[in-house]
Every structure is written in C-alpha cells, then in structure tokens.
C-alpha cells in the first residue's frame, strides 16, 4: 500500500535579533537626521561662512608701521622754540609799583585805668589793645568832632566793635550821653582856653550853588530856556533839559497838563505842580505843525504822539492809498486810537 505524501511544513520566519535601542535610534534619525541634499547644503553654507570671515583680513590693505621717532623730533623742536620765545620775551615794568610798608613797632600793653580819650594819642589807644588803624581813626575822628564830649560819640566811631567798646566804656571819663542843646552851648561858651583848644568855631560853608529866588514871576513855558526853568525849586539842569527837549519834539505845549507826559516827571507830581505854578502857555500860541503827507519816517517817529510803529503805518498807508485829504481820514488806520488822534490833531497839517 502506498504511503501518502507528507505536506511540506512552512518555514518559520527567522527570529529578529534587532536591538532594543532600535526605536530610539529611529526616532533620533527621524527628527535630527539630514538628507543627502541637506547635508550638501550645510557643507556649502559652512564653507561660505568661513570664506566670509576670512575674506576681510585677506582684502584689507597692510597698514604702514608707525614710527614715532619723526613725531617726537618735531615735538621736541616745537618745545624748544616755545622755550626760546619764553626766555627772550621782554620784561615790562608794571605801571603800579608794589608798595612796601614799614613794619609797625609793637606797642607794650598797659592795664586799663580811668582815662580821658581827648588826651590820648594813637600809641595810647594801641596800648589799650586797639589796632593801629583804629587808633589813628579815633584820633582823626576826635579832631573832626572837636573833642569827645560823651561816650556815645565813641560808640558811633566806625570800626569800633561793641565788644571793644564794652571793655573800654567803664574806664572812659565822660558822660554816657550828650547834654541838652542849651547845656551844650553853655559848656561851649564857658569852656576855658585850655579845654578843646584845637576846636574850630563853626562857620557857614559858602555854597558854590546859587540860591534860587523865593519870589519868581511866571514865564512862558514855550519860550523859556533851561536857565529860566532852573530857577524853579526842584528843577535842576537835567529836568530843565528834558522839558526843553520834549517841547522841541512836541512842537510846543498847548496845555499845562502836557508836562505830565514827560517821562522824567511822571513820578514827580510836586515838580509838575511847581512848573504849572510858575509857567503858562501864551494865548494864541500856534505849535509847530507836521505834514503827514510829506514828512519822512524820521520826522514822524520823532513826534511823541506818533512813534515808530504809527509812523511806519502812516508812510505805508499814504504810499498805497495816496495822500490824506482831511484829518478824519486818519481814522482808517486801525493802530491809531481815538485818544491819540485827538491829541495829535492840533499838530497836523495836510498839504
């Protein structure tokens, strides 16, 4: 009996011996691996970076080597030249020679005792502890006042401190304060020839300024000169000159209250009252007129009621619109207010 054929047994797949780290290697290659193209590009990029870093040093021209010897020689030459100029510079003598002061002798000090300051010399004051300059000043001050008659005169001496005065005051043989005026006059008249012998009698000093008249007749302010104006009390040369100058610029005063327009007299109403008291404006006086159609800018701006700004506008207006025909045409100028126009009209003329 024939034996049945046996079926072939399928081959078993070989047992994989891959490492346990294979999944890790696969993950690393997947996320951090490079393809062949990327690797080629990376190599080319690295080469370009190396070339870019090294190219400037290859193309930079070679710097010359600094040799400081030539510059040092030049600096030394300049220094020698400056030193030669300094040594050969001419010496100029000063216009103000230096003063030399003799050394002051040291004055021995003495103990304080009652004394009369009218008999002290500068050395006596120095012996009581005062400096030389203050001692000389007290001697001169005593000669100027004709002798000390009270302690308060010494206290008022310039340079004598309160501390020094307090130290000397108990020993000064003088009253604290000056006596009344009558007692002082009696003491002056009844004093013997030995007391205050160097004192000079009072004499009225002759003034080099002439006294102004007490009774002054009124005069025309438009014709008065500085000499006449200076006869008024309180009006000196400066005020008189300003009054005359303002009158010339204005063309003459029409009213006495125009004196208050002078800048120097704005804060001196008493002087204005004095001028009003002794001056007057003559009846029928006609001031100097200004033609606004022909006057130049300099003439217009010199007038006190016009000034630079209004003069500039007047000249420009008449150049653009022609001459003014009547004074009311000036109302077309906006910068000219009604009060100024009213004051200016008596001094205007239109030709």
**Average pLDDT, integer, range 137-163:** 87
User: Which residues share a beta bridge with 220?
Assistant: 280
Is the Cβ–Cβ distance between 253 and 222 less than 8 Å? yes
Average pLDDT over residues 6-22: 60
Helix (H) or strand (E) holding 290: strand 290-291
Half-sphere exposure of 51 (CA within 13 A, CB side): 6
pLDDT confidence of residue 245: 92
Tell me whether strands 348-349 and 219-220 are parallel, antiparallel or unpaired.
unpaired
- Is residue 301 within 8 A of residue 307, CB to CB? The reply is yes
Over residues 184-240, the pLDDT tens digits come to 554 555 444 444 444 444 444 445 556 777 778 888 988 889 888 888 888 888 888
CA separation for the pair 131, 104 (Å, rounded): 11
Written as six digits, the tokens of 226 are 């500085």
pLDDT per position as a tens digit, 240-261: 899 999 999 988 998 888 888 8
- H helices of the chain, in order, are 22-32, 36-59, 68-87, 122-127, 132-145, 151-155, 162-168, 181-190, 226-229, 237-250, 269-278, 297-302, 307-321, 338-344
220 vs 56: which has the higher pLDDT: 220
Q: What would the mean pLDDT of 10-19 be, rounded to a whole number? A: 56
Q: Which residue has the tokens 């804060």?
A: 267
Per-residue pLDDT, averaged over 167-180, amounts to 85
Please answer whether residues 240 and 229 qualify as being in contact, where contact means their C-beta atoms are separated by less than 8 angstroms.
Answer: yes
Q: What is the pLDDT of residue 157?
A: 85
Q: Are 349 and 326 in contact (CB under 8 A)?
A: no
Give the pLDDT score at 201: 46
Q: Mind spelling out the 3-state secondary structure of 90-126?
A: CCCCCCCCCCCCCCCCCCCCCCCCCECHHHCCHHHHH
Instruction: Indicate if the pLDDT at residue 183 is higher than 60.
Output: no
Q: How would DSSP label each residue in 182-238? A: HHHHHHHHH--TTTTTTPPPP-PPPPSSPPPPSS---EETTT--HHHHTTSTT--HH
283-287-288 Cα angle (round to 5)? 160
Fold of domain 117-184: DNA polymerase; domain 1 (1.10.150)
Structure confidence at residue 204 (pLDDT): 43
- Asked if pLDDT for residue 4 goes beyond 70, the answer is no
Distance in angstroms (rounded) separating the CA atoms of residues 182 and 178: 11
* Residue closest to 134 by CA, chosen among 166, 101, 158: 158
Q: Which residue has the tokens 């010399």?
A: 121
Q: What is the pLDDT of residue 44?
A: 92
Alpha-carbon span 99 to 102, nearest angstrom: 10
Q: How far apart are alpha carbons 218 and 235 in whole angstroms?
A: 15
What tens digit of pLDDT does each residue of 71-120 get? 899 999 999 988 888 766 566 666 677 777 677 778 888 888 899 999 89
Q: Is pLDDT at 1 greater than 80 in this prediction?
A: no
**Entry pTM:** 0.42
Cβ neighbours of 219 (radius 10 Å): 16
Both tokens of residue 54?
A: 């090294």
Confidence at residue 295, expressed as pLDDT on a 0 to 100 scale: 87
Q: What is the pLDDT of residue 186?
A: 43
- Closest C-alpha to 135, from 126, 145, 144, 146: 126
* Closest of 308, 303, 306, 309 to residue 288, by C-alpha: 303
Tens of pLDDT, residues 264-322 = 888 888 888 888 888 888 888 888 888 888 888 898 888 998 888 888 988 888 888 88
pLDDT digits (tens, 9 = 90+) for 17-53: 556 777 888 888 777 777 888 888 889 999 999 988 8
């Amino acid at each position: 009996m024939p034996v049945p054929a046996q079926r072939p047994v399928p081959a078993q797949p070989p047992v994989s011996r891959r490492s346990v780290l294979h999944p890790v290697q696969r993950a690393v290659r997947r996320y951090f691996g490079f393809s062949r193209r990327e690797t080629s590009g990376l190599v080319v990029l690295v080469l370009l970076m190396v070339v870019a870093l090294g190219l400037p040093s290859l193309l930079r021209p070679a710097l010359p080597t600094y040799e400081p010897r030539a510059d040092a020689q030049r600096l030394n030459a300049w220094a020698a030249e400056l030193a030669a100029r300094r040594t050969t510079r001419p010496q100029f003598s000063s216009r103000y020679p230096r003063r030399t002061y003799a050394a002051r002798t040291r004055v021995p000090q003495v103990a304080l005792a009652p004394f009369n300051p009218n008999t002290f010399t500068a050395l006596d004051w120095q012996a009581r502890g005062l400096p030389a300059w203050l001692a000389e000043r007290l001697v001169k001050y005593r000669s100027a006042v004709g002798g000390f008659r009270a302690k308060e005169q010494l206290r008022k001496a310039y340079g004598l401190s309160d501390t020094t005065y307090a130290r000397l005051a108990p020993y000064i043989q003088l009253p604290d304060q000056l006596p009344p005026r009558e007692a002082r006059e009696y003491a002056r008249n009844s004093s013997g020839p030995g007391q205050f012998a160097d004192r000079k009698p009072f004499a009225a000093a002759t003034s080099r300024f002439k006294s102004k008249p007490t009774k002054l007749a009124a005069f025309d302010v438009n014709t008065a000169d500085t000499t006449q104006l200076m006869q008024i009390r309180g009006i000196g040369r400066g005020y008189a000159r300003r009054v005359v100058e303002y009158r010339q610029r204005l063309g003459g005063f029409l009213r006495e209250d125009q004196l208050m327009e002078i800048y120097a007299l704005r804060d001196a109403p008493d002087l204005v009252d004095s001028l009003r008291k002794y001056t007057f404006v003559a009846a029928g006086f006609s001031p100097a007129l200004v033609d606004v159609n022909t006057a130049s800018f300099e003439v217009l701006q010199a007038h006190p009621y016009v000034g630079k700004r209004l003069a500039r506008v007047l000249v420009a207006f008449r150049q653009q619109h022609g001459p003014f025909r009547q004074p009311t045409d000036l109302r077309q100028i906006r910068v000219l207010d009604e009060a100024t126009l009213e004051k200016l009209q008596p001094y205007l003329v239109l030709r």
